[in-house]
Structure 1
């Protein structure tokens, strides 16, 4: 799946050494995409349902 509707956003935790993750809403498809910034348009993308992404973020926040 390619992101044709949303914009990719770089994580606020990104650093100058390209250890970055970008995320993008999937528009009307109710999905969220994630990819490695250094591979941008030629690398793999992980797409998950937006409900799964929300659950993942809650789990990360709860274990900080």
Structure 2
């Protein structure tokens, strides 16, 4: 699947506080794609679902 075919979305928390500071994610069964919402044609990061879960857990803790 090309990145042009991905379904990108932002968290519902993106509208609070600093609306310009958002990440967008596009999950697939094998990869979570991540990009800056201000630079949608810029660099993207792709991680495994396990890595994404670990990141979200870490971020929620603190």
Q: Which band: TM-score by shorter chain?
A: 0.7 to 0.9
The equivalent residue for 1:18 is: 20
Q: Which has the higher strand share?
A: 1
What TM-score comes out, normalization by structure 2 length? Answer: 0.74
Q: How many residues align?
A: 60
Other-structure match for 1:45? 44
CA distance in 2, matches of 1:51, 1:8: 19
Runs of 4+ in 1 over 6 A off after TM superposition: none
Q: Quote how far apart the aligned CAs of 1:3 are.
A: 2.5
TM-score normalised by length of structure 1: 0.72
What secondary structure is seen at the aligned counterpart in 2 of 1:33?
strand
Q: Distance in 2 between matches of 1:11 and 1:44?
A: 19
RMSD: 2.3
Long gaps (5+) in structure 2: none
